[in-house]
């Protein structure tokens, strides 16, 4: 179907042609007195008049068609506004640069604009990194904000907006049940309907760093190659500004704790998780040993996302005390030009464990007071803990997140948490004979 402007041009051309023909006829000189000349002129005039009448008929037909288009155009626009825009799967001809969509989970925050603006500002390629915004809640203003981006994002809508069946004691947690339902539907769309091989998942209250896309692009081959990894995260749970080395923003770690808050997964992991996806509290469910199955995630020294969403189902839990102090990386690191093979399990453990347990040990009181005998020597130190209570006491005293999920500390690997304290690298670590997490620790 031609656009309205196309019909207008066509109609104007016909109208002009008709008027030129009339002008031609009216301006012709009177015919000669000879009968042959008169007959010839009459035939020519009759032919021109016939052509002009045909042109007028065609013009009227086109004008009628244009009126129909105008009549139905508004109806079609209203109908299309109610339908989700279906993003088409994109395949990259170069297998070394696969398409990696970003799935943005949205609900009723019109401030999703801040999230989308940052993603679009730093996105290096619309083809390589298509943006899909999945909206729950049916919030009109949020939908209007998303729609304002036009073809720059694909807008899909979670169709089931009703309450989720939950036990009576969980009635106050209805929001968490809705979130889990939305995650399941949205990830199903990405991996089942659109058939992408991998996806980056963010929520509508996250802002991303300048090298957010570079980081995930570089980490994807590692995730594909190392079966002991199951995700790559942009988040450091202990990423407060004074607790990270911002000058070494290229540092990456393995962690046994699922961080979320901007994370990459493969379609094969969704194949595994979807059949048993929980009704609520999906992120803590991911942290259970039955789901983690001994696998780790990659996480950065300096976070590549920060959350600005104090409003939410958790009612600002942790935000004022902690989350708003997370440092967002502001220096572009060319990760795709770096060798990340050191993050593969065997090499990482050989190097990392040697560094941790080769570091001199200090006591908590000495570390806090700055009195330990290693204070004038460069290099990291190790603070050892034994038992749940000792870990929580040390973490709280040093400003770390002290909660444990199925026995795993936030940002921890083999029980070890790496951070900066008063300018020095510190490893809060269990004894060298550590033999695994105790799920009863909480």
Residues marked as catalytic: 283
Q: Please, what is the Cα angle at 105 between 104 and 111, to 5 degrees?
A: 85
329, two tokens: 């990386």
DSSP string, 145-195: HHHTTGGGSEEEE-S--SPPP--GGGGGGHHHHHHHHHHHHHHHIIIIIS-
Helix 112-122 vs helix 212-225: crossing angle, to nearest 10: 80
Q: Are 129 and 102 in contact (CB under 8 A)?
A: yes
Distance CA 442, CA 152 (A): 44
Beta-carbon contacts of residue 92 (< 8 Å; ≥ 6 apart): 98, 99, 127, 128
Q: Is 298 helix (H, G, I), strand (E, B) or coil?
A: strand
Q: Are 215 and 234 in contact (CB under 8 A)?
A: yes
Q: Are 398 and 428 in contact (CB under 8 A)?
A: yes
Judging by DSSP bridges, how do beta strands 131-135 and 102-106 pair with one another? parallel
Distance CA 382, CA 376 (A): 15
Q: Are 417 and 259 in contact (CB under 8 A)?
A: no
């Amino acid at each position: 179907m031609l656009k309205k402007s196309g019909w207008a041009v066509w109609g104007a051309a016909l109208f002009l042609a008709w008027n030129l023909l009339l002008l031609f006829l009216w301006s012709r000189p009177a015919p000669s007195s000879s009968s042959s000349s008169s007959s010839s002129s009459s035939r020519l005039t009759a032919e021109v008049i016939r052509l002009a009448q045909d042109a007028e008929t065609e013009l009227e037909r086109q004008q009628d068609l244009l009126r129909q288009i105008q009549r139905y155009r508004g109806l079609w626009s209203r109908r299309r506004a109610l339908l989700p825009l279906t993003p088409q799967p994109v395949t990259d001809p170069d297998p070394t640069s696969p398409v990696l969509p970003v799935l943005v989970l949205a609900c009723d925050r019109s401030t999703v604009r801040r999230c989308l603006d940052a993603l679009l500002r730093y996105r290096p390629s619309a083809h390589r990194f298509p943006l899909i915004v999945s909206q729950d809640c049916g919030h009109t203003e949020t939908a209007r904000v998303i729609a304002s981006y036009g073809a720059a994002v694909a807008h899909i809508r979670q169709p089931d907006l009703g309450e989720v069946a939950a036990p009576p004691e969980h009635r106050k947690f209805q929001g968490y049940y809705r979130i889990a339902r939305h995650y399941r539907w949205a990830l199903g769309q990405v991996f089942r309907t659109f058939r992408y091989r991998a996806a980056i998942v963010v929520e509508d209250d996250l802002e991303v760093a300048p090298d957010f896309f570079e980081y995930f692009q570089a980490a994807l081959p590692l995730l594909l190659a190392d079966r002991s990894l199951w995700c790559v995260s942009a988040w450091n749970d202990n990423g407060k500004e004074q607790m990270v080395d911002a000058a070494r923003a290229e540092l990456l770690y393995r962690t046994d704790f699922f961080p979320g808050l901007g994370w990459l997964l493969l379609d094969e992991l969704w194949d595994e998780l979807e059949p048993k996806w929980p009704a609520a509290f999906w992120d803590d469910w991911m942290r259970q040993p039955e789901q983690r199955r001994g696998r780790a995630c990659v996480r950065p020294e300096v976070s590549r996302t920060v959350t600005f969403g104090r409003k939410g189902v958790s009612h600002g839990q942790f935000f004022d005390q902690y989350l708003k102090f997370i440092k967002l990386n502001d220096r572009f690191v060319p990760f795709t030009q770096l060798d990340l093979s050191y993050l593969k399990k065997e090499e990482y453990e050989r190097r990392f464990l040697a560094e941790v347990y080769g570091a001199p040990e200090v006591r908590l009181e000495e570390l806090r007071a700055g009195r330990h005998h290693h204070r004038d020597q460069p290099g990291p130190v190790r603070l050892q803990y034994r038992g749940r209570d000792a870990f929580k006491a040390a973490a709280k005293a040093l400003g770390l997140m002290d909660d444990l999920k199925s026995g795993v500390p936030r940002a921890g690997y083999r029980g070890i948490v790496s951070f900066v304290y008063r300018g020095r690298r510190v490893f809060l670590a269990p004894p060298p004979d550590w033999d695994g997490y105790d799920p009863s620790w909480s």
